[in-house]
Structure 1
Amino acid sequence: MTGGRTPGYRTSVRTGIVILPEHRWWFAEPKWRAAEEYGFHHAWTYDHLAWRTLVDGPWFGAVPTLTAAAMVTQRIRLGTFVASPTFRHPVPFARELLALDDISDGRLTVGVGAGGGDGYDHEVLGHPAPTRRAERFGEFVELLDKLLTRDRTTYEGTHFSAVDARSYPGAVQRPRPPFLIAANGPKAMAVAARHGQGWVTTGTPADDLDTWWRGVAELAARFTEAQHEHGRRVDRYVNLDSAPVYSLTSVETFRDAVGRAEELGFTDVVVHWPRHDGVFAGRESVLEEVAADVLPALG
């Protein structure tokens, strides 16, 4: 299977880029400005307390980072990629999101996921590995939805509760900012089909690119079934950098990945800003070429 596209080919796939929150703002700010200038439709940052191999390096909070990004951009959508119940409670998180939606003048997309079963975010809080993750995630999204669409919310769940929580004055976007819900399993897919305006997948781990794309195709087919059960239309995002080959290795690699995603019915693709070494290692010159030669033909 190949999805390569010639330079003149025009597609409707939208593009997003993740900028990790690992730099002081004087260094990070130009990246966020450039993401908009390059023509990306959305820009994201990770919502973790620290992340994998970067746990001992610099790391900053997602919401303050996105707030700063909102102040130096005008059009590009901004979002968490992705927030989770691991260290978030819907009540205070909803207040932060309302502020971010206001400051960005309605450019916020709320990316949410169930959170990993282990990792630093759990370890640093001294939490045991969570149980009933899918149930907890469903409550998290349900309560967050209520908090962002109602002036007052009282809710009693197994994992989360709220007592007369106020959300005035409400979001700029009505009825609330869109949810992008990360899901690979059937229970999380059901949450995405029920509450999401977008669904994002990372595919399944694979050692070669073709196998990874076959896994993405299988997940897309499963989500189609979940979506039909709820009778809703949901945008589809794929994280290209969960593949065994980094999407910005070359212009050709990026173009091929976008073509494959479009063939599978994805509306959006997400890549990561190149880093000097380690995860997402690449050259910013490739990103600049993609911006000049490929992005103008997308969306």
Structure 2
Amino acid sequence: MTVSPMSGVLISVSPVRIGIVILPEHRWWVAEPKWRAADEYGFDHAWTYDHLGWRSLVDGPWFAAVPTLTAAAMVTSRIRLGTWVASPTFRHPVPFARELLTVDDVSDGRFTLGIGAGGLAGYDTTVLGGQPWSLGERSARFAEFVELLDQLLVAERTTWQGRYYAADQARSAPGCVQRPRIPFVVAANGPRTMRTAARFGQGWVTTGSGGETVDEWWRGVAELAERFTSALVDQGRDPSTVDRYLNLDSAPVYSLSSVDCFRDAVGRAAELGFTDVVAHWPRGDGFYAGSETVLEQVAADVLPEVRAG
């Protein structure tokens, strides 16, 4: 444990758990070995994007997150699996809760829901033919979405009438394998979404607040971590009981560009009290372009170092 320099609140610094994102862009005969390897390499958790299409990859191959994670659960035995991250942009809580119950069951309780408010623009916001939501509506929808989803996964029956969502006697049998429900890791950078994360999250994830240089990005991450600590205190929660996840590849440099780069990023995250970090499986070009040899070296050298403390 260490004391936050700004808030004076105790936060965790070690050990750091390490996760990997495998984009849902490959046919299963290509993707399956990656999920198996993530499990065998010793990563603590593995994730996939929950989008209908993403940035410039929208015109290429792309598969749905929940079926992908269900398949991954069938070929792994240890590693936790999750969405990085789901959002209300194209989902309704009632059918989504059924999907989550299913993947939690198939994985025998190894599933974590990564969830966020979604972007202000992009393919997910336009593909259904509607108008993009304003920032205020997006935050309000997200808060209601998470609250209803929480109830659907805990209660046997849920009736709900909100501003954006409704449920009428929605059933949840047999319930989650994990009790009282699957854990939520809530993505939040702004004050409204941070309140939602502080209220409902078993974990919080941030992408940072931008910055042209690596040092600027890390300063932004540190500021957001302090704000989240304050949000937890405002909710009456002990900050040491909520996990903190950092998306390393939101920085100006790809975390797996070298072993030393990754080792440095993990160390800096630990110093800021993050319990978990997440990198992306190297791709051949474009986003997250890198070498799988670096990934293998990280698995062989860095993961055991981190576990040893």
Give the corresponding residue for 2:265.
257
CA–CA distance in structure 2, aligned partners of residues 37 and 165 of structure 1: 39
AA in 1 matched with 2:185: L
Question: Does the CA contact (< 8 Å) of 1:209 and 1:245 recur in 2?
Answer: yes
Deviations 1:26-50 (A, max 9, x none): 0000000000111110000000000
Q: What secondary structure is seen at the aligned counterpart in 2 of 1:115?
A: coil
Give the corresponding residue for 2:297.
289
Q: What secondary structure is seen at the aligned counterpart in 1 of 2:173?
A: coil
Structure 1: gaps of 5 or more residues: 1-9
Which one has more relative contact order, counting CA pairs under 8 Å at least 6 apart? 1
Once the two structures are TM-superposed, the CA of residue 255 in structure 1 deviates from its matched residue by 0.3
Matched, 1:247 2:255: yes
Structure 2: gaps of 5 or more residues: 1-12
**Pick from 61, 77, 87: which aligns with 1:58?**
61
Question: Does the CA contact (< 8 Å) of 2:18 and 2:43 recur in 1?
Answer: yes
Once the two structures are TM-superposed, the CA of residue 11 in structure 1 deviates from its matched residue by 4.8
**Pick from 206, 209, 219: which aligns with 1:204?**
209
| Aligned pairs for 1:141-180 within 5 A | 141-180=146-185
Which structure has more helix as a fraction of its residues?
Answer: 2
AA in 2 matched with 1:160: Y
User: What TM-score comes out, normalization by structure 2 length?
Assistant: 0.93
Give the corresponding residue for 1:15.
18
Question: Does the CA contact (< 8 Å) of 2:14 and 2:275 recur in 1?
Answer: no
Give the corresponding residue for 2:140.
135
Matched, 1:81 2:84: yes
Once the two structures are TM-superposed, the CA of residue 256 in structure 1 deviates from its matched residue by 0.2
Give the corresponding residue for 1:121.
124
CA–CA distance in structure 2, aligned partners of residues 255 and 122 of structure 1: 36
CA–CA distance in structure 2, aligned partners of residues 182 and 99 of structure 1: 23
CA–CA distance in structure 2, aligned partners of residues 122 and 190 of structure 1: 23
CA–CA distance in structure 1, aligned partners of residues 305 and 92 of structure 2: 40
Once the two structures are TM-superposed, the CA of residue 182 in structure 1 deviates from its matched residue by 0.2
AA in 2 matched with 1:110: L
CA–CA distance in structure 2, aligned partners of residues 244 and 53 of structure 1: 18
Q: What secondary structure is seen at the aligned counterpart in 2 of 1:294?
A: helix
**Pick from 218, 222, 225: which aligns with 2:227?**
222
Question: Does the CA contact (< 8 Å) of 1:11 and 1:297 recur in 2?
Answer: no
Q: What secondary structure is seen at the aligned counterpart in 1 of 2:256?
A: coil
Once the two structures are TM-superposed, the CA of residue 231 in structure 1 deviates from its matched residue by 2.3
Q: What secondary structure is seen at the aligned counterpart in 2 of 1:79?
A: strand
Give the corresponding residue for 1:7.
none
Matched, 1:185 2:190: yes
Q: What secondary structure is seen at the aligned counterpart in 1 of 2:72?
A: helix
CA–CA distance in structure 1, aligned partners of residues 268 and 155 of structure 2: 40
Matched, 1:213 2:218: yes
CA–CA distance in structure 2, aligned partners of residues 102 and 298 of structure 1: 30
Question: Does the CA contact (< 8 Å) of 1:17 and 1:43 recur in 2?
Answer: yes
Give the corresponding residue for 2:288.
280
